[in-house]
Amino acid sequence: MTNRIALFLGVFLIAAITLDVMVYGSEHIIFLSKKLADLLEWMAFWR
């Protein structure tokens, strides 16, 4: 992955999350973050 692609993906993700929070609020982002943390913990267990 080149720096240009990585920068584009980072800017796109930040813009998408910002727009999502502005339109729908932050409650579901917090829920998804907690679920992602649980998934990462589960995957670390199997490592």
Domain count, the chain: 1
Q: State residue 8's pLDDT score.
A: 96
Residue 17 structural domain: 3-46
pLDDT by residue (tens digit) across 9-37?
999 999 999 998 899 888 888 888 999 99
pTM of the model: 0.63
Structure tokens at 13: 């993700």
Q: State residue 3's pLDDT score.
A: 94
pLDDT by residue (tens digit) across 31-47?
889 999 999 999 987 77
- Residues whose CB falls within 8 Å of the CB of residue 21, separated by 6 or more in sequence, listed in order: 29
